[in-house]
Each structure stands twice: as structure tokens, then as C-alpha cells.
Amino acid sequence: MKLRYFSHSSFQITTDAGQVLLIDPFIDDNPTCPVRAEELSADFIVLTHAHGDHVGDSFSIANRCDPLFIAVNELANYCIDKGFRAHNMHIGGAYEFGFGRLKFTIAHHGSMTPEGGYGGEPAGVVLSIDGINLYHTGDTGLFYDMKLIGEMTPIDYMLLPIGDNFTMGIGDAVKAVELTDPRVAIPMHYNTFPVIEADPHEFKRRVEALGKEAVVMDFGQELTLT
């Protein structure tokens, strides 16, 4: 399985079978993203919440490749209303897809569509694909149930925000790693805008001081997950 980071909270997962998932593809209006939306296609688009910097370029991408959207119920219905296919889910629910298992978790944030409508509850997502458990926390503040999430599904890779202001900052993100106990922590949601400037290498140093592994992915970088 391969993981590619486009910056902000946008990732691409390519399974061993060649299926492509995009998570929160905020691309063309993202000043730190090294690719254009027209370069991307997907079999599935996973949305953690409805804010414009997470729905991003989902619909322009979907117009070309007809992916299945996966989101909480209200956000999935929003995608359906736009003319796209969607699988409706909700917090705490899990489902077996062709690529693997997906479960939505809580996230402490907000969720409003670009038109100002209610986008459902914000979420994190735990993906179990090709024998690897990956936890994309979505936009969230710190919460103690991260410990429970890690106990119920041992996390191999945890993707979590460090940019502060709208989400966890570095200190809270390090505590989130301590609670969840992933094999590898990967910071996200930083340096897109001045208000969320943060040093991912400081995060890495502080995680490593706990005796855990952290990887700072360059924008556009792809990793093979093992």
C-alpha cells in the first residue's frame, strides 16, 4: 500500500490491488499543493467533513472518474444532491468496501458546506487496508477517546493535525500520539496559511522523545507502507 501526501489534510492511498482513495482532496486552491486536480483520479473519495478546504476539488475530480464518495450521512447526501454516487455512514459505523474496512470516529471540530449548509458531524476515519491500520484524525482537537480508538484497533500510521488555531497544535498532537500509540505518527494540516504555521520537525522531535516514530512527509511525497 502506498500513501501520498499533497499537503494540508489531503492524501492519496493506492492499495496493493491498484485501487485509489483520495482523502479530503483540497488541491487547486491549496497554495502548498504540488499537483493540480486535473492530474488526479480516484475510485473512492473519503471526506472527513464539509469545509471547503476538505471537500476541496472533490467534485471536479469526480466529474472525470465517477468515484464513490464515502462520508457521514448528511455530507454523503450533499454529494448525492450534486449528482454523485455516495455511501452514507455515520460516527462509530464501519463497513467493508472492496479495498478494505472503513470506520468513522468522532472529531471535535465543525462542518459546514461551502454554501453554508449543515454538513453533518465532523469525523476521523480508521482504514484497514492490506493488513495496515491507518487513522486519519480529520480536523480535531485533542480528546481522550483517542486512547480507546488505539486500543480497539492497533494503529500503524496516524495522520494528525499540528497547525493549531483550528485544530490541535503540536503539544496536543504529541499527547494524541501518546494516547493512541501508533507505530508511526505523520503530521498534517500545517503551513497552508499563516495562521496555521507550525514546525513539523519540532513535532517529530517531541514524538521521538517519547520513544515513538514520526515521519515528516514532504508535500507530494509518496511512502510505501509496511
Tell me if residue 186 falls in helix, strand or coil: strand
pTM of the model: 0.98
Q: Supply the pLDDT for residue 130.
A: 97
Residue-wise pLDDT tens digits, 58-107: 999 999 999 999 999 999 999 999 999 999 999 999 999 999 999 999 99
Please give the CATH number for the structural domain made up of 2-217: 3.60.15.10
Count CB neighbours of 181 within 10 A: 16
C-alpha distances (whole Å) from 82 to each of 53, 54, 78, 177, 185 are 18, 16, 6, 37, 35
Q: How does pLDDT run across 155-213, given as a tens digit for each residue? A: 999 999 999 999 999 999 999 999 999 999 999 999 999 999 999 999 999 999 999 99
